[in-house]
Amino acid sequence: MLYVAVSEQQRYPDLVKSARGQPVLTVSELPGFSDSGGIIEIFREHERIRFIINLGVARRAGLEISPNLLKLAVQVDQE
């Protein structure tokens, strides 16, 4: 698992690119992270933690996301 901290905003495209094709779960709170090739984007909504899953990227990395986790996601992208 690779967690990309908000402090790495300038470097995150390179970090995600380096993990591409590897069996690495990428997670971040950076806005637009899942649209930029990250797998799980975490955000706050009404004092709750929510997340978006980019299932297409996860599958290309050889990762299987639990159906139960997919049900909890606010959005599941197939990218």
| Tens-place pLDDT, residues 24-41 | 999 999 999 999 899 999
CA distances 55 to 8, 47, 48, 77, Å, are 23, 25, 22, 6
Encoding tokens for residue 31?
Answer: 């806005």
Predicted TM-score of the model (pTM): 0.89
| Tens-place pLDDT, residues 18-77 | 888 889 999 999 999 999 899 999 999 999 999 999 999 999 999 999 999 999 999 898
